[in-house]
Each structure stands twice: as structure tokens, then as C-alpha cells.
Amino acid sequence: MARLPKLPNLLDRKIYKTGQTRGADDDQIFQNRVGRNSTVLIPLAVWRGHETIRKLDYENGYIVLVPPPEYFGAGCQGKLQQEGVEVGQNALVFYELRSHWNEWNPEQAGLTAPTSRITPLGGSYVARVANTTAEGDERINRGYTSTGLKGAGIRLYEYAPTAVIQSARVQLEALFWLAEDAVQTCVEVGMEEAAVAERRAAALALAKKTGLLDYQALRDARTIDASDKLVCPLCLERLSSLGFMSRMGQAAGRERHDLTVTEINLFHIKELAYGLFNHRPYNLGWGHHHCNVVCKDSGIVETLKWMKAVTVRNSHLFGE
């Protein structure tokens, strides 16, 4: 296949980054913005409750996080063994509470911090304990704290295999091209008109060919409207593709600068739930950054109900 014309940089970056997890800082156990196919962290209760999660073949493995009482308690180690949970191999004791740290101090128990995310883990425990106001109770971060080995793994629901990451990118580029001003925007940021047409046609054809771009499913997912134009899944407003390239837009100082450019982000349609991986082509759309923030973790319908209640309580402001 001949090489396709390149997408504008900011857009290309935005689509690429959809294959990565969200950010995390050093005080969290998670890795910071890495591929969604990275080592997955599974809380013991979730491991126990979901057979599908136990059976999945994770591309870069998984680590079960065992709360200290489930490891040190009477009879616990035999139970873990029966369940196929082996600390140091596919599991770690995870300290989050100071009371646990004080009661079952890992160093006194002879546990060491791991050196790898892949079996064998080279150690048995990890700790992220917050500081308290009490004197001497400083934050405790142990395990996966060094440069090159920061964070133990990713949040379970963010996981996606390489093939899904790739098809999600194909879907998300196709959706971009359904923005009503996508062609105009690409020309404005410097693509040749013929190149835009070629890239657009190829992207839509690739999506169709691989079972994506099912318009009815996309309408059901609230990512496009009845005229098949790209909309924000929360507010249903049509999205301007300028929002994909807002930095570039500001720099170029173009004639449409009077329009308010709202940043556009990746939007997960259904909220997060264990047992349900949220990064799937028909659970994804593009939405306003603000709408995404408002919606976070609650789900679209729940958020809309909340908004309705808020506006009803404020109806005096609207002269009603």
C-alpha cells in the first residue's frame, strides 16, 4: 500500500495517545502514561469475584494485590495457594494503611521490594501509605519507585490488547473525519487539499473494512448525530475539529479565532467497571474536555439526571 499523507501533528499525537493510560504520580502505585497493554494490577477481591478477569491472557502479565490481612491472617496463605495466587510470582502484598504497616511490618516479616513487573517479581511487597498529622508518620513508598521501574502496573479497566488499541485508533480517526469541518481544518493547518481527501477516504475505508464505523452503533453510543456528524457524547453539540488542534490554531492566528475553541478529549461512553474493559472501539468517542471532566466516572445518563436536578433547583435564574 502506498504511504498515506500524514495527519497534522497534534491530531496524530492525540490519536496515538488514546493507546496510553492516564497519568499517575510517584505516590500512586500506577505507572504514568504507558501503553494500555502493560502489566495489569488486579485487587485480590476483584480477582476472586470475576472469572473472566482470572482467565484473560494479559499481554504483559498481571499482578494481584493482596491486602496484608489476607496474607498474614490465620490460614490465609493456604487459601491463596489454592486460588493460584502466589506472592512473589503473580502477586504482591500491598500496604495502603498505616495500621497494616505497623501491625505486619514487611521488613520485620522478611519481605523485600520487587525488582520486576514480570514473574518472578523479585520481591513480595509494595507500599503506598499516606502521611498523617502524627509526628514521625511520614509517607511510605516502597517498591517500583526508581527511575526505569516507576509504578507497579496499570489500572485493570484501562487494559486493552495491542489489536484493540489499534482498532480503537482506526475508529477514532474515522470519527475525527465525521466532524463537520474536518476537511477545512486540515487544509487550514497546512495539509494539501488532495492529501486531505486521500487520507480521509483511506481512513474511512479502513474503518469500514475492519468492521468499524457502524453508523447505527455510533449513533447509539452518542458519538454522532442523526446526520452522522461528530458530536460530544454528553452535550450532543457538534464538535468543531479545531478543538483537536487548538494549540496550532492559536499559533496560526487564523480567521476563525473569534470562535471559542474548546479542547477535545478522548471520551469513554460507559463508565468504568471491573469485569468490563472500557477501551473498546464502540465505547469510545471524542468530547469536550469540560464535558468529560463533569462526566468522569459517573456515566452519561447519571450526569444528565444530576444536571437536570441542578437546573430545576436554579429555575428562578431562568425566569421560570
Which residues of this chain interact with Zn ion, rule CB under 5 A? Answer: 232, 234-235, 288, 291
Residue closer to Zn ion, measured from CB, 170 or 221: 221
95 closest CA partner among 46, 64, 121, 129? 129
Taking the complex as a whole, the smallest distance from the CB of residue 166 to Zn ion amounts, in Å, to 27
Taking the complex as a whole, the smallest distance from the CB of residue 184 to Zn ion amounts, in Å, to 21
Exposed, middle or buried by CB within 10 Å (0-12, 13-18, 19+), for 10?
Answer: middle
Residue 104 C-alpha cell reads as 505486619
Residue closer to Zn ion, measured from CB, 168 or 231: 231
Q: Which residues contact 243 (CB under 8 A, 6 or more apart)?
A: 261, 262, 263, 264, 288
Using DSSP's 3-state secondary structure scheme, residue 298 falls into coil
Taking the complex as a whole, the smallest distance from the CB of residue 88 to Zn ion amounts, in Å, to 47
Q: Which residues contact 64 (CB under 8 A, 6 or more apart)?
A: 42, 43, 44, 47, 85, 90, 91, 92
Residue closer to Zn ion, measured from CB, 186 or 291: 291
Residue closer to Zn ion, measured from CB, 251 or 293: 293
Q: How many residues does the chain have?
A: 320
Asked if 237 and 286 count as a contact pair (C-beta separation under 8 A), the reply is no
Amino acid at position 76, single letter: C
Taking the complex as a whole, the smallest distance from the CB of residue 307 to Zn ion amounts, in Å, to 11
Residue closer to Zn ion, measured from CB, 98 or 238: 238
Taking the complex as a whole, the smallest distance from the CB of residue 226 to Zn ion amounts, in Å, to 17
Residue closer to Zn ion, measured from CB, 207 or 234: 234
Cα 97–Cα 102–Cα 108 angle in degrees, nearest 5 = 125
Residue closer to Zn ion, measured from CB, 79 or 296: 296
DSSP string, 102-137: HHT-TTTTT----S-SSSS-SSSEEEEE---SSTT-
Asked if 128 and 141 count as a contact pair (C-beta separation under 8 A), the reply is yes
Residue 117 C-alpha cell reads as 513487573
How many helices (H) and strands (E) in the chain? 13, 10
276 DSSP assignment:
B
Taking the complex as a whole, the smallest distance from the CB of residue 236 to Zn ion amounts, in Å, to 7
